[in-house]
Amino acid sequence: MRSGLSIMAAMDRGKYELVPIGVTKSGEWLRLDPRLLEGPGAALALEGDRVALLPQPKDHSLMRLDNGADGARKPLDVVFPVLHGPLGEDGTVQGLLELADIPYVGSGVLGSAVGMDKAAMKALFRERQLKIAPYRVFLRKRWRDNPEAVRTECESAFPYPWFVKPANLGSSVGISKVRDEAEFVTAMEEAAQYDRKLIVEAAVEHAREVEVSVLGNDEPVASVVGEILPSHEFYDYESKYLDDATRLVIPADLPESIADTVRETAVQAFLALDCAGLARVDFLIAAKTLEVFLSEVNTMPGFTSVSMYPKLWEASGVPYSELIDKLIALAIERHAEIHANRRSYTD
Ligand SMILES: Nc1ncnc2c1ncn2[C@@H]1O[C@H](COP(=O)(O)OP(=O)(O)O)[C@@H](O)[C@H]1O
Ligand SMILES: [Mg+2]
């Protein structure tokens, strides 16, 4: 919500008419009053008429659900989904927007879905021979049925420490670092609360965390590289959102050749997932050897004015509000590109 507020606050009201939509925890869409955006924090109270998009290409409109009579339709030109995690960043909302035939910012169904699923994402990275840390994927059922076999398989594949993660999530939720067998059991049970698919990954020791912003559709470009100095042992939920001690270093203090590798790999990763519009690509760099490991792609990165994604563009010469203009233009461009496809074989 903070990202959404920042984006709306930076949009040129002479150029855009804003139609803010809030999604409640239970999944209801509410059309918010744009005036709510003006008071500090005011829009954090989700209030407004219940609205919906129909999964049909005819109306291109937001529909009011209750007492919908006059003025119940609001035509939309572009949707900017500022949603993190499952049921937002994972292709589901994107699928609805495809059916509604409304241009939208960011990746399509495939890129969004793969960007949310670390197992599928790693498989595509591997296919492109992009360097990632060794890992294994397990279904929760297999773990519950045979934890010993799962642990033995990992132990014979790579030494401790490991990271255990739910495959589909983000924000470091459900992720733990594991140093031994006892910690492994706790970590797997924690991750298994969030997903039916679990990742066990070799830790990159003394990892430095660097990130690159990618922008574009078929010919994406990479920003300068930024580094995160987390306040905790790793970049967990608390250091991401709750404390102010985490620092961003832009540009990252890296030899030029390493920064170039990181930027080129970021573009490759974007293309490997068939992303569109924007993505932040995250890396882990071994502190001593400066070996670069691709970690993950985030198709809807944090977007407050102090978030890494827009900060990296600012440092690369694209100010925040111009970045929003570019993303909207890219959404329209991609929609037109898809519409150029022949859609019927017979007529
Ligand atoms: N293989 C690894 N080696 C070292 N640190 C890791 C590794 N995997 C994850 N981490 C740490 O955990 C954090 C969250 O993991 P990540 O895979 O980025 O998940 P999320 O999608 O939740 O951000 C990373 O930013 C990093 O601090
Ligand atoms: Mg991450």
Binning pLDDT at 50, 70 and 90, where does residue 347 land?
Answer: low
In this prediction, residue 60 carries a pLDDT of 87
Consecutive H or E run containing 187: helix 181-192
> Percent of the chain having pLDDT more than 70?
95
Q: What is the mean pLDDT of residues 256-277?
A: 98
In this prediction, residue 342 carries a pLDDT of 84
* Structural domain includes residue 104: no
**Is the same domain home to 222 and 183?**
no
Q: Poorest-confidence range of 69-73, 208-212, 269-273?
A: 69-73
In this prediction, residue 66 carries a pLDDT of 82
**Is the same domain home to 191 and 211?**
no
Q: Round the average pLDDT of the chain to a whole number and report it.
A: 92
Binning pLDDT at 50, 70 and 90, where does residue 260 land?
Answer: very high
CA of 62 to the centre of ligand 1 (A): 38
CATH code, domain carrying 148: 3.30.1490.20
In this prediction, residue 26 carries a pLDDT of 92
DSSP 129: T
**Is the same domain home to 169 and 189?**
yes
Nearest ligand to the C-alpha of residue 86?
1
CATH code, domain carrying 244: 3.30.470.20
* Structural domain includes residue 284: yes
Above 70 in pLDDT, residue 39?
no
Sign of CA dihedral 206, 163, 130, 237: negative
**Is the same domain home to 300 and 217?**
yes
- Residue-wise pLDDT for 178-235, tens only, equals 999 999 999 999 999 999 999 999 999 899 999 999 999 999 999 999 999 987 878 8
* 305, 6 contact by CB (below 8 A): yes
Ligand 1, atom 14: closest residue by C-alpha: 172
Per DSSP, the three-state class of 31 is: strand
**Is the same domain home to 332 and 263?**
yes
Binning pLDDT at 50, 70 and 90, where does residue 173 land?
Answer: confident
* Structural domain includes residue 114: no
Q: Which domain holds residue 308?
A: 205-338
**Is the same domain home to 223 and 278?**
yes
CA pair distance 172, 168, nearest whole angstrom:
11
Residue 171, CB-side half-sphere exposure with 13 Å CA sphere: 14
Question: Does 36 or 22 have the greater pLDDT score?
Answer: 22
Binning pLDDT at 50, 70 and 90, where does residue 144 land?
Answer: very high
* Structural domain includes residue 37: yes
Per DSSP, the three-state class of 328 is: helix
Ligand 1, atom 6: closest residue by C-alpha: 203
Ligand 1, atom 2: closest residue by C-alpha: 203
Which residues sit opposite 162 in a β-bridge? 178, 202
**Is the same domain home to 143 and 60?**
no
Q: Which of 172, 173, 190 to mutate to test the pocket of ligand 1 (most atoms within 8 A of CB)?
A: 172
Above 70 in pLDDT, residue 287?
yes
Above 70 in pLDDT, residue 112?
yes
Specify the pairing of strand 135-139 against strand 73-75.
unpaired
Last residue of a domain, one of 184, 202, 220: 202
CATH code, domain carrying 47: 3.40.50.20
**Is the same domain home to 78 and 195?**
no
Starting at the edge strand that comes first in sequence, how are the strands of the sheet with 162-166 ordered? 135-139, 197-202, 162-166, 176-178
Nearest ligand to the C-alpha of residue 228?
1
Above 90 in pLDDT, residue 310?
yes
Binning pLDDT at 50, 70 and 90, where does residue 70 land?
Answer: low
CA of 296 to the centre of ligand 2 (A): 6
Binning pLDDT at 50, 70 and 90, where does residue 341 land?
Answer: confident
**Is the same domain home to 212 and 179?**
no
Last residue of a domain, one of 82, 99, 115: 82
Q: What is the mean pLDDT of residues 149-156?
A: 97
Q: Tell me the one-letter amino acid at 211.
A: E
CA of 282 to the centre of ligand 2 (A): 7
Q: Ligand 1 — pocket residues by CB below 6 A?
A: 133, 163, 165, 169-172, 175, 201, 203-204, 207, 209, 234-235, 282, 284, 295-296
Counting the structural domains of the chain, the total is 3
Which of 320, 241, 306, 247 has its CA nearest to residue 278?
Answer: 320
Above 80 in pLDDT, residue 163?
yes
Per DSSP, the three-state class of 130 is: coil
In this prediction, residue 43 carries a pLDDT of 52
**Is the same domain home to 179 and 242?**
no
* Structural domain includes residue 249: yes
CA pair distance 338, 347, nearest whole angstrom:
18
- Residue-wise pLDDT for 3-31, tens only, equals 998 999 899 989 999 999 999 989 999 99
Binning pLDDT at 50, 70 and 90, where does residue 344 land?
Answer: confident
* Structural domain includes residue 129: no
pTM > 0.85: yes or no? yes
Ligand 1, atom 15: closest residue by C-alpha: 172
* Structural domain includes residue 318: yes
